[in-house]
Structure 1
Amino acid sequence: MPSSTASPPAISFENVKKTYRGGQVKALNGVSFDIPCGEFFGLLGPNGAGKTTLISVLAGLAKATEGRVRVMGHDVVNDYAAARKALGVVPQELVFDPFFSVRESLRIQSGYFGVKHNDDWIDELLANLGLADKANANMRQLSGGMKRRVLVAQALVHRPPVIVLDEPTAGVDVELRQTLWQFIARLNKEGHTVLLTTHYLEEAEALCQRIGMLKGGRLVALDRTSQLLAGTAHTMLRFKTDVALPAEIAARARVTGRIVQVTAHDAAEVETTLATLRAAGVPVEDLEIGRADLEDVFLNIMQGDAA
């Protein structure tokens, strides 16, 4: 089939640059990639990498200094009305109107996009996001987790083909995470495109088909999740201990409280590591040996060991 008849990507970033202070601060420095329709895509990076800036440009909340961004083929500047209608964004911040109930807020949001007679879909959103018993509650009466659910419902109320989730599970409970991911996974299977930013890398590894990583406003990695994981041949030793590690192991270990993770390139290095721990009198609990995960890949790339 000729390429001219092919459908456009769900999201397209073309050499996007965003500078502040007269060009002194480069929040985005030539970011280019496409997200095809129906993909579940993860955008990762440390704080200050440019993730939220890129999403703000996508959503029309900030204007790129250079470059072009499209949603379903619609330019976010020149065809902003169509681009906004194709997009549903769940922001990081808890933003809500304290004067309306949950149902009223969703009806008003529907009206912003010209969607009438939307109560059946609103009821479905309320049921799937665990909000049915809160439908008539005032927004001020809701907990932080419930307000987060309403933000998700507001982003989905006009049935956008493209869904953007900017740190949607930050600071929320396990129940909301499970409820949210079940519903979003269902929408993705039905054809919706999903762009996710998260610091919970286990979520990205489990959900995202492809991942891009930003560092200092630049795209430093872009590949299928399986390929990124296959790109590291490291074996990972995970164990718990309350004793200080020998210097040669501490230098290559990642320690979180009592949990220690140490990379090893092969079976011989695994045995050497364990022998060093025994010789140093370090007691080891709950030892696990497995492959490196997305967090290991992410840290490797952010530290400049891979790009």
Structure 2
Amino acid sequence: MKQRNELEKIMFHPTGSDLKPYEWMMQPTRQQEWIDDKGIFLWLAFFFSEIGAGLYFVSLFYEYKTGLILGWLITLILGGVIHVLYLGNPLRAWRMIMKPNTSELSRGIWIIGIFAALGFLQMVTADSFNIVFNTIMGILCLLIISHGFATMNVIRALPAWSSTMVLPLSVISGVWIGHQIMQFMVAVSGSAALTSGMEVWAEVFFFAYFLCILLYAWGTWHSNEIGKESIKIQLSGDLSKISLIGVGGLGIVLPLIFTLIMWGGNTNGALIFLRLASIFAGDLALRYVIMKSAVYRPLI
């Protein structure tokens, strides 16, 4: 009954701003399910699950057990709990796990469940970083990192989400932020040599991240008129301030400045923290504008 009343308000609004029954068939229509109201939980759940998996993934290469533990906790506690808040009634939501063959969301739940079990086993095993564990957990981490955007990517009616650059962008994003979390942890622990050595990869990941953003914007703009409409909303519409200040300023310009200052491995713990805080906010803004600006193709 509540859903029916809300639908009636949309279709027959007393102010005259109602959506005519035929408009969604003939005009581009913004999606409103995945970012408004409880959809905010999905935005945050995807983000925390992916950066936690990114931290776990990077920690495998450096054999950094503290990073494994923190990445595992971020993915399951922050990402998992927030995800549950989005799913609604747990007495019904569990049914999603029964459709891994047809549902990307269901596959993601299974992957996170396997990650939780095997990750715990890896952390309590004496030889945590053997080749078998590293390979299996590395693959699971990449699947979790790409899960959020992969779930969105299958919706072909939204060109802003079905872009071929969405998945590469999500992988680079998760690994880049995970790398920065670990670099800050190492800097706090006082390991100056390792922190300096990690800066080379920080530079690589940053420029790969920036390139993926450019390719995403270029590809979506040139995909079709609906994709172009989404980019217009991001750059000159109601999301322009978030895009320019959040994505452009915090996600790209400030990290670039900090990276140039530390170029060549002359790292500083305070600058690493500021860069981490900046890209954290910038990537949240990037995910928000991508989700919020998605426009459905009209049927006619």
More strand by share: 1
More helix by share: 2
TM-score of the pair, normalised by structure 1: 0.27
TM-score of the pair, normalised by structure 2: 0.27
Structure with the greater alpha carbon radius of gyration: 1
For CA contacts below 8 A with separation 6 or more, give which structure has more relative contact order: 2
